[in-house]
Structure 1
Amino acid sequence: MDQTFGKHEKLKSKILLDKLFTEGKSVKSFPLKLVYVPIEDSETPHLKTGVSVPKKLVRTAVRRNRIKRLMREVYRKNKYLVTKDLSSSFAFMFIYISRENMDYSGLEKCMIKTLKKFHENHA
């Protein structure tokens, strides 16, 4: 079980980000929203993942960065839920949609629920 979140797994492509937000589908589990889109032209199935915390909801940079750091860690620990039976490649964007702070365990429960919803739709 691979528990890394390396450079090749991070969502950085401007083209892919634009496609994600124009054509992407979403799955919600408060306070997380997962927007995803399939990626073509790849021979091995993999995920490109990004996290986002809107400035409009979380005003201070310190809180935004902490939430993003927690989201990346929770994803890194639980990505096996979707990668074990992955048949094609996807681009993921996790968006935090709450004004309140959330601790690691609460965020982990929401992330697991979100990943399971995605896996049910694409298994």
Structure 2
Amino acid sequence: MLAAVAGTLPAALASREPSHAVSALLIHGALDGLAPIGGGWSRRRGPNGELRGRTLSLDETAARWREIDRFPPGIGGTAVAARTLPDGGHSWPGMPAGPGWREPVSQEFDAAEEICRFAVPLAIPAAERRRDR
């Protein structure tokens, strides 16, 4: 199981084929100024000022995990969910912004609680999530 806050899939990893299906909860702010919800190049820069890399959009990332998990219905009961926060930026939902942080922080829900609610019923043994079955 994975949960990503502002964590769309790097395009360089999109063709990888994991050995097991993976449930995924993807949470992304529509106003994210560092990792755009629509994909493209990260706004973060590397040590020499270079762009860090291209990412898929939130929708493309969710679609890729659904493809990996062979939806519908998903291998071994896996699930993929994508949540868009219209008022959220590159931040952790439900927490106050830190000093000097300029990205908007959504208070729609607490990301940690939402991740736990998603994960608990999806604690599926690895043997049931093998993709070579």
TM-score, normalised via structure 2 length:
0.29
Q: Which has the larger radius of gyration?
A: 2
TM-score (norm 1): 0.30
* Higher relative contact order, chain-length normalized (CA < 8 Å, sep 6+): 1
Q: 1 or 2, which has the higher helix percentage?
A: 1
Instruction: Give the structure with the higher percent strand.
Output: 1
